[in-house]
Amino acid sequence: MKYSIFSLARAALSSHKNWGRAWRDPTPKKQYDVVIIGGGGHGLATAYFLAKEYGIRNVAVLEKGWIGSGNAGRNTTIIRSNYMLPGNTGFYEMSMKLWERMEQDLNYNTMVSQRGIINLYHSDAQRDAFARRGNTMRINGIDAELLDAVEIRKILPFLNYDNARFPIMGGLMQRRGGTARHDAVVWGYARAADQLGVDIIQNCEVTGFQRSNGRITGVETTRGTIGAGKVGMAVAGSTSRVAAMADLRLPIESQVLQAFVTEAIKPLIPGVVTFGAGHFYVSQSDKGGLVFGGDLDGYNSYAQRGNMPVMEDVCEGGMAIMPMIGRVRLLRQWGGIMDMSMDGTPIIDKTPVDGLYLNAGWCYGGFKATPASGLVFAHLLARDEPHEEAKRFRLDRFRRGAMIDEKGQGAQPNLH
Amino acid sequence: MRIACPFCGARDSGEFTYLGDASPKRPAAPLDGGAAVEEQFYDYVYLRDNVAGFTREYWYHGGGCRSWLIAERSTTTHEFKSVAAAPGAGAAKTAQAGER
């Protein structure tokens, strides 16, 4: 069913009791052309683009829980393309352009809201660095504006501009950045992929790979063996565990990142704001809660929960730029498992195992990349060669010394 | 998470800094030893087992005794099985390569 004002009116006549399923719940077939492991945003977007752009419709997405139950449902919903290094700039801007037409493409309200993102700066040196970043973005056709404190104050009058240690001197703004509804992105891709013939199979955990002459021929799952021409992995924090079943070791560590949401308040924060002297970022959801986060906990973890020291650190960052946040009560806090790569940049490539393809290393920036990640991974799976915008995201870049280290931290994942 | 430092007792994990997996060992071969040595260094610097379960890892007690420690900790439950001084801990000299 196509969603429109007419379908809404029609459903209203029966008190919205006859909407029907948004996607099927199929029994897995014996064989697929492509099996994608992981029913998060990236896996579902990959299946959608495989069917839509590359004509490969005999596709299954296998999800061990329910779709969107991992990081796709745990992130802070920010979309932006304010990157500086070659490889990242083009890729994330392509993603931003896909966000801008997502709702029309998917016929689904993913609540994409380009309300702007502001990265605050607190020193002359940081202003210079942000000016450079902004100029790099503009050379690459990405919008960026360097604002001084007077201009920032018009947008965000409630910040503490006179913090003695970290005065707010201005910010780098990307007006096209903003937020989107994370669950709706998952559901929108699931529904659109399903309509193109993709099987979305939930409660189906992959427990091993089937191989013949070194080539992957299928996957073993909790719902039986499923044959596959090609297998794509889009399993984020579980990447190393799944790869280990194919005897692969990867340049990835799994670490926990926490996020927080407060009780709902009236509209206050117009867009996304980030603190430049610590690690704190905040936006306001459409329900009114302040959604914020900060640094990784800093140790390897698969536990999907974090610890108090980082909660304290994040809240201190919030208090530093926005003291009024101390008056609002924290409603919920949770953790997700990040696939931290050794240079802070994703890996989208074939693996040394024939027939197995890798989409991983998103660190804590995977949500904004969802549409572009799906498109380039579908391209790789369909054509066996990297998409133009993902050709720097190769697995062998560490061996070649061609890292894309946006933060310049080296091979220490907890610092990215 | 509390970490039982062998010198200071159980302390809040905020006092500690994490380095990572203690199992990679710096190759003994000189850096300019050719392709085979490069491969060893690539493995040492970049590749990780990233274990789900108990793993040995380096922690630094910067907010206490400033010792390097090796802890056995589960990455799935955050439970600690043991915490001991890393080789060379407490000595005022630079720790050996691979045992920072």
**pLDDT per residue as tens digits for the range A224-242:** 999 999 999 999 999 999 9
**Which residue type does A344 have?**
G
CATH 2.60.120.10 fits A24-81+83-108+182-250+343-415, yes or no: no
Asked if A301's CB is within 8 angstroms of B18's CB, the reply is: no
Instruction: Kindly list the residues from chain A whose CB atom is less than 8 angstroms away from the CB atom of residue B77.
Output: 303
B23 inside 8 A of chain A by CB? no
Instruction: Kindly list the residues from chain A whose CB atom is less than 8 angstroms away from the CB atom of residue B75.
Output: 254, 300-303
A312 inside 8 A of chain B by CB? yes
For residue A30, the distance in angstroms to the closest alpha carbon of chain B comes to 30
For the domain made up of A117-176+253-341, give the CATH fold: D-Amino Acid Oxidase; Chain A, domain 2 (3.30.9)
Asked if B13's CB is within 8 angstroms of A252's CB, the reply is: no
A398 inside 8 A of chain B by CB? yes
Question: Is the model's pLDDT at B92 over the cut of 50?
Answer: no
Question: Is the model's pLDDT at A396 over the cut of 60?
Answer: yes
Instruction: Kindly list the residues from chain B whose CB atom is less than 8 angstroms away from the CB atom of residue A309.
Output: 12-14
- Could you give the CA distance from residue A358 to residue A344 in angstroms, rounded to a whole number? 16
pLDDT tens per residue, range B39-60: 999 999 999 999 999 999 999 9
Q: Are A34 and A61 in contact (CB under 8 A)?
A: no
**Taking the complete model, does pTM exceed 0.80, yes or no?**
yes
For residue B45, the distance in angstroms to the closest alpha carbon of chain A comes to 7
Asked if A254's CB is within 8 angstroms of B75's CB, the reply is: yes
Instruction: Kindly list the residues from chain B whose CB atom is less than 8 angstroms away from the CB atom of residue A396.
Output: none
Instruction: Kindly list the residues from chain A whose CB atom is less than 8 angstroms away from the CB atom of residue B78.
Output: 301, 303, 307
Q: What is the DSSP string of A177-209?
A: -EE--HHHHHHHHHHHHHHTT-EEE-S--EEEE
- Would you say the C-alpha torsion B43, B47, B51, B54 has a positive or negative sign? positive
pLDDT tens per residue, range A272-289: 999 999 999 999 999 999
Q: What is the pLDDT of residue A115?
A: 97
Q: Are A232 and A216 in contact (CB under 8 A)?
A: no
Question: Is the model's pLDDT at B90 over the cut of 70?
Answer: no
CA neighbor of A40 nearest in space, from A253, A337, A248: A337
Asked if A249's CB is within 8 angstroms of B49's CB, the reply is: yes
Asked if B47's CB is within 8 angstroms of A251's CB, the reply is: yes
Question: Is the model's pLDDT at A36 over the cut of 70?
Answer: yes
Mutate: best of A241, A300, A363, partner B, most B CBs <10 A: A300
Asked if B42's CB is within 8 angstroms of A399's CB, the reply is: yes
pLDDT tens per residue, range A318-349: 999 999 999 999 999 999 999 999 999 999 99
B32 inside 8 A of chain A by CB? no
Instruction: Kindly list the residues from chain B whose CB atom is less than 8 angstroms away from the CB atom of residue A338.
Output: none
Beta strand spans in A92-186 (E): 117-121, 145-148, 170-174, 178-179
Q: What is the pLDDT of residue B94?
A: 47
Interface of B with A in 36-75 (CB under 8 A): 42-43, 45-52, 55, 57, 73, 75
pLDDT band at B30 (very low <50, low <70, confident <90, very high): confident
pLDDT band at B100 (very low <50, low <70, confident <90, very high): very low
The CATH class of B2-85 is alpha beta
Asked if A249's CB is within 8 angstroms of B48's CB, the reply is: yes
Chain A residue whose CA is closest to B39 = A399
ipTM of the prediction: 0.91
Asked if B20's CB is within 8 angstroms of A249's CB, the reply is: no
Out of A249, A309, A413, whose CB is closest to B47? A249
Mutate: best of B16, B50, B69, partner A, most A CBs <10 A: B50
CA neighbor of A374 nearest in space, from A246, A186, A195, A215: A186
- Could you give the CA distance from residue A248 to residue A228 in angstroms, rounded to a whole number? 19
**Which residue type does A390 have?**
A
Instruction: Kindly list the residues from chain A whose CB atom is less than 8 angstroms away from the CB atom of residue B12.
Output: 308-309
Chain A residue whose CA is closest to B42 = A399
- What distances in angstroms separate CA A358 from CA A36, A374, B22, B74, one per listed residue? 10, 12, 26, 26
pLDDT tens per residue, range A100-134: 999 999 999 999 999 999 999 999 999 999 999 99
Distance of CA A95 to the CA centre of its chain: 11
Out of B43, B46, B52, whose CB is closest to A241? B52
- Could you give the CA distance from residue A115 to residue A45 in angstroms, rounded to a whole number? 24
Residue-averaged pLDDT of chain A: 97
What residue segments make up the domains of chain A, in order of their start?
A: 24-81+83-108+182-250+343-415, 117-176+253-341
